[in-house]
Amino acid sequence: MDAQITIIGAGVIGLAIAEEASSLFSEVFINEKHTTFGQETSSRNSEVIHAGIYYPQGSLKARLCVEGRNLLYDYCSRFGVPFNKCGKLIVATDENEVSVIEGIRKTAEGNGVILDILGPGEIRKLEPEIFALAALWSPETGIIDTHSLMKRLETNSLNNGCQIAYASEVTGIRKIDGGYEVTVSDAGGSSYSFSTRIVVNAAGLTADKVSGMAGMNDERLTIHFCKGDYFRIRPPKNRLLKRLVYPVPHTNLEGIGIHVTIDMGGGVRLGPDVKYLESNIYDYHVDPGKQEAFWKSARKFLPFLEYDDIMPDMAGIRPKTQKPGEAVRDFYIREESERGNPGFINLIGMESPGLTSCLAIAKLVVSMIRLEEKN
């Protein structure tokens, strides 16, 4: 075999797997179609380290988020990756929402996340400029410099001996004795093939297509592009907020509402909203016509916000496996021997909390690799 382990995709999850795998195995490779790491979902998100509040008890999302959050804070401290454990308020702005937040607290407790219910006076001490009748306080939530995290994961992987091929798009996968033949097109349009014992599909928005290359076409694993736009609060009003502020989420958690996130530079974003794209196109255009909707949504708990205080910022795309209106699905992380593809590990539908969970996901995937190597 030319390689022992081939990882497809150099987003934050692919890089985390590469770092973990290359610390234990030799001949670890990454193929990434873009010219550098993290050019899609990994660099177009809220950069939040989630506590693990909303996810169903016992789900991979719940378990890996809580485990990954602790690993990530420790990793950032050890390697000097900038982060801010600023905490988060989930605010109720009417009496109906006040009753809802108790249910959110119970879900969080089932996941091992303790939240405090705050009254108006306690809320004002934390964020004096917001309006809320009550709020849940999550001290474990924070933000991270995602680019710095990915750069550190890349550096550690390379130092471990991992090889990364950028501008190298996987176009075909064929099962062979003892592994897989992977065909790749490079930036110059040339194609080449190599053999690998293990394939880890961490291709993000195109993970379903990569799985299909190996003959695993499953409608339940089809990725639906779900776009989210962000608006930014203009200075100087961005300085009125120091923490994350979230509304009470929608009942089906298709999105958790237009919320307030801060970044490491002191900027403040509103978003994202939720819009399924009719086809899986990479549409990163932010519609300025949404400004009024964003303003009205945020003004419910940011009474100081005027219409002209916000401006279009950026957009990201989430890889969802559920269709519009369907219940949220869990991460799909599986070694595919049962589908006749031993040594092929699929990661599909890796939306939030994928960033928070990346180091825990890496440990899970490497445990699958070690088990497969024993067989």
pLDDT for the residue numbered 258? 85
SS (H, E, C) the chain: CCEEEEEECCCHHHHHHHHHHHCCCCCEEEECCCCCCCCCHHHCCCCEECCCCCCCCCCHHHHHHHHHHHHHHHHHHHHCCCEECCCEEEEECCHHHHHHHHHHHHHHHHCCCCCEEECHHHHHHHCCCCCCCEEEEECCCEEECHHHHHHHHHHHHHHCCCEEECCEEEEEEEEECCEEEEEEEECCCCEEEEEEEEEEECCHHHHHHHHHHCCCCCHHHCCEEEEEEEEEECCCHHHHCCCEEEECCCCCCCCCCCEEEECCCCCEEEECCCEECCCCCCCCCCCHHHHHHHHHHHHCCCCCCCHHHEEEEEEEEEEECCCCCCCCCCCEEEEHHHHCCCCEEEEECCCCCHHHHHHHHHHHHHHHHHHHHHC
Domain positions in the chain: 3-44+147-220+328-374, 88-139+224-320
Superfamily of domain 3-44+147-220+328-374, CATH level 4: FAD/NAD(P)-binding domain (3.50.50.60)
Per-residue pLDDT at 331: 98
pLDDT at residue 350, as a whole number: 98
Given 3.30.9.10, 3.40.50.970, 3.90.1150.10, 3.60.20.30, which CATH number is that of 88-139+224-320? 3.30.9.10
According to the model, what pLDDT value does residue 189 have? 84
pTM of the model: 0.96
- pLDDT at site 208: 98
pLDDT at position 252 is: 47
Full pLDDT tens readout for the chain, 375 residues: 999 999 999 999 999 999 999 999 999 999 999 999 999 999 999 999 999 999 999 999 999 999 999 999 999 999 999 999 999 999 999 999 998 999 999 999 999 999 999 999 999 999 999 999 999 999 999 999 999 999 999 999 999 999 999 999 999 999 999 999 999 999 888 999 999 999 999 999 999 999 999 999 999 999 999 999 999 999 999 999 999 999 988 654 445 578 999 999 999 999 999 999 988 999 999 999 999 999 999 999 999 999 999 999 999 999 999 999 899 999 999 999 999 999 999 999 999 999 999 999 999 999 999 988 776
